[in-house]
């Protein structure tokens, strides 16, 4: 035999996602202690179960789907001709859902972000430089070609594999000036690449909240650098 008593969920106590300020509150105007074969089917029971199911749906929806990860193969900085140059390699690959959206004419936007901070004892790191670039990826069913553009500049590719290699490859990008850094001081660099969900059409933004196939990003890859 089993039994359960009403919990804080049934009295409208807020459900709070760990590490988030978001809360969801559901209220049911009754308490109960059901036992097998002793609680008759009634309109109140159906209404109560319906509200509970709605609460569970809201709570599940408040937890974002985990994004598919883009592994980082390598990343590093070097000084050359007065510039600090970034090189990085990501094993970039679209999910099946993103491939299908691209082939149906939905443009995708991918952003590579870089930050350089100076570590400080007993204090927060000081950000000294940052850099980012966003690529707009589109597909033409007429020419069967992909186009990758950053601002007014762009180029075409014959295959999706070529597009993925292009976006995942950062080659000698100037991200800071040598004279902006202090020689002999240790800095922490961080780089990542991600799908910019906010630039998707509105219906697809909803998909991105519910499905990991509509989210694609790498974690911040951090490494040390001393000029």
- Checking if the pLDDT of 65 tops 60, the result is no
The predicted-structure confidence for 72-81, as pLDDT tens digits, reads as follows 999 999 999 9
Q: Are 18 and 64 in contact (CB under 8 A)?
A: no
126-143 residue pLDDT tens: 999 999 999 999 999 999
Q: How far apart, in whole angstroms, are the C-alpha atoms of residue 85 and residue 119? A: 20
- Which residue do the tokens 């790191």 mark? 125
Phi, psi of 214 (to 5 degrees): -100, 10
Sign of CA dihedral 206, 212, 217, 219: positive
State the first-to-last Cα distance of the chain, in angstroms, to the nearest integer: 70
83, 176 contact by CB (below 8 A): yes
* Strand extents, DSSP E, 17-60: 23-24
Region 3-23: what's the mean pLDDT? 42
Give the pLDDT mean for 115-136: 91
Q: Where are the beta strands (DSSP E) in 91-168?
A: 108-120, 123-140, 145-150, 153-157
Other CB atoms within 10 Å distance of the CB of residue 198: 8
**The predicted structure's pLDDT at residue 32:** 41
pLDDT tens figures, 27-56: 444 444 444 444 454 666 556 555 544 444
Structure tokens, 46: 């159906």
What is the model's pLDDT at position 68? 64
């Amino acid at each position: 035999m089993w039994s359960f008593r009403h919990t804080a969920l049934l009295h409208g106590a807020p459900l709070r996602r760990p590490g988030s300020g978001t809360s969801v509150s559901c209220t049911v105007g009754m308490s109960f202690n059901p036992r097998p074969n002793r609680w008759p089917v009634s309109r109140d029971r159906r209404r109560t179960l319906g509200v509970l199911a709605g609460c569970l749906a809201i709570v599940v929806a408040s937890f974002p789907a985990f994004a598919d990860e883009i592994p980082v193969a390598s990343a590093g900085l070097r000084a050359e001709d007065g510039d600090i140059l970034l090189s990085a390699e990501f094993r970039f690959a679209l999910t099946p859902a993103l491939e299908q959206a691209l082939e149906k004419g939905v443009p995708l936007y991918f952003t590579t972000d870089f930050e350089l901070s100076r570590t400080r004892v007993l204090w927060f790191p000081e950000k000294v430089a940052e850099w980012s670039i966003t690529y707009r990826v589109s597909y033409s069913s007429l020419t069967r070609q992909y186009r990758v553009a950053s601002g007014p500049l762009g180029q075409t590719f014959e295959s999706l594999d070529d597009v993925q290699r292009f976006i995942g490859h950062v080659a000698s990008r100037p991200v800071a000036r040598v004279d902006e850094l202090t020689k002999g001081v240790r800095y922490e660099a961080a780089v990542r690449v991600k799908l910019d969900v906010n630039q998707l059409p509105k219906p697809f933004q909803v998909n991105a909240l519910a499905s990991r196939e509509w989210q694609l990003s790498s974690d911040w890859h951090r490494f040390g650098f001393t000029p």
